[in-house]
Structures are given as C-alpha cells and as structure tokens.
Amino acid sequence: MTQQPAIRLDNLTVCYDRHPAVHHLSGAFPDGSLTAIVGPNGAGKSTLLKAIMGMLPTTTGRIDHVALTRADIAYLPQQAQIDRQFPITVLDVVLLGHWQRIGMLGAVTAALREQANAALAAVGLADFGRRLIHSLSAGQFQRVLFARMLLQEARLILLDEPFTAIDARTTADLLEVVQSWHAERRTVIAVLHDLEQVRAHFPETLLLARSGIAWGRTAEVLTPTNLHRARQIAEDWDDSALLLCAVQP
C-alpha cells in the first residue's frame, strides 16, 4: 500500500519502570488499512495500543498521529480491564460513545437516543437498551461496546483482543462490523490470537515480540519462520533494550 499513513511509529520504545515492553519499533499503519497485531503473551501488544492512545508515555522514539486528534480514536480495552458491576444501563453505555461530542453537561437529545438504539439494533441487541450491563453475557456485552464505537464515528479504531472468550456467533457478527468499518475506509487495528481468523479477515499484520518481527501483507508476515522467531525472541531477554529503559529518569 502506498497511501498516507494514519499512524507512524519511529523507533518506538515503551518501558514500564526498567522493563522494555515494546522496543525499536518502526513502521506505519496506512490510512484506511485493516491490521491485526499478533504475538506471544507479554509481547507488548496491549502496550502498543495504549501508547498509540496516549495512555502511556513513549520512552524513546515517537508516535506520529498523522492528521488525527484524540477524538478521532476509539479504543476497546482487553475485557478483563472493564468493570461490569457498575449499575448502568446498556443504552447509557452506548451513549457514552458520544461524550466527546456532547460533553458531560450536554443534553442527550431524542435524536442521539435514536442513534444509540439504531447502533444497538445493528449489533443484534434491539431490545436491550434498558437492561443493566451486569445482566449480560460476555458476548452481549461485547456487542454493546461495539455499538458504542459505532456511535463514536472514529477515524481510527483500536481493538484489544475483541473476540477472546466471545462465542462464535457474536464473533462472526462483530467481524462483520469490523469489515464495514474497513469498507468505510476507517483505519482499524486489532490485537488477535486466532491466526486463521487473521488470515481470513485481516489484510495486514504486525507480528510483535517486543520488537517488530514482521509487518505487511498477512500472508507474508504469518510464515512458519517468522512465527518461530517471534516465539524465540519472546523467551529471550534483550539486554540492549533493558539498558535503554534504565537510562530514563
């Protein structure tokens, strides 16, 4: 692909304390691309998404959000990081997708409510608006979070393991939502584990093992050699990157 990048990474390193979670990563997510991030546990996949979101500082290198502001980015964290005991209705969770536009004190208009209900219908939850979120299954709750992102109309969508522990039917339905975003030329980046799913639905892949192992067309990235290298590197410790973290204040 030769088009304009949405996000450019230039020799990016992100450390936690003295631990390099992502290091020396360079490359670009083209505008309108649909990219999977795959790699072993602890490979820095979630860290990279959080750094792109601006939730973590970069240790060295830089992230260039080409023509994107914070309001243009939607982010779905890994499921375990969301508290579902909060007593809030499904409709209100979906309306949260609009907070950046209406502000905390802005009125939720009838038109907005209608849009939220339409988003719920689009993910197969037409009559769920009044339900409290703790009463939903994991798959239903994931549908709610996708409805919220539908309302957000983001240019860049970051998904961290959106289909882990989600039933097959929900996964298939939400993959269709991802495809529709791609058809609308939004940029989508998703951390995934199922390589067959990646091969079937994601044209581009970044294979990450703290550093970038391969990045490009999925078929060229997910080769046995690259996957083997990713596993090996994940088991080793990179001393040069460790030093890089240690020099930070």
Nearer to ligand ADP, 128 or 202 (CB): 202
In the complex, the smallest distance separating the C-beta of residue 52 from Mg ion, rounded to whole angstroms, is 14
Q: Is residue 47 at the binding interface for ligand ADP, with CB under 6 A as the rule?
A: yes
Binding segment toward ligand ADP, per CB under 6 A, in 45-53, 88-96, 110-118, 180-188: 45-53
Residue reference for tokens 């209608």:
114
Half-sphere exposure in the Cβ direction for 135 (13 Å, CA):
9
Binding segment toward ligand ADP, per CB under 6 A, in 14-22, 26-34, 118-126, 137-145: 14-22
Taking residues 30 to 69 in sequence order and writing x for each that binds Mg ion by CB under 5 A, - otherwise, the string is ---------------xx-----------------------
Binding residues for Mg ion, rule CB under 5 A, total 2
Partnered with residue 191 across adjacent β-strands are 37, 160
- CA–CA distance from 17 to each of 12, 25, 62, 185 (Å)? 16, 19, 18, 37
Q: Is residue 115 at the binding interface for ligand ADP, with CB under 6 A as the rule?
A: no
Helices (H), 56-167: 90-95, 99-102, 110-122, 138-152
Binding segment toward ligand ADP, per CB under 6 A, in 16-24, 88-96, 101-109, 126-134: 16-24
| Token pair for 56 | 């973590």
Q: Which of 4, 11, 18, 19 is in the footprint of ligand ADP by CB under 6 A?
A: 19
Binding residues for ligand ADP, rule CB under 6 A, total 11
Q: Is residue 23 at the binding interface for ligand ADP, with CB under 6 A as the rule?
A: no
| Alpha-carbon dihedral 171, 174, 179, 185, rounded to 10 degrees | -140
47: phi then psi, degrees, rounded to nearest 5: -60, -45
Half-sphere exposure in the Cβ direction for 113 (13 Å, CA):
7
Nearer to ligand ADP, 16 or 99 (CB): 16
Q: Is residue 218 at the binding interface for Mg ion, with CB under 5 A as the rule?
A: no
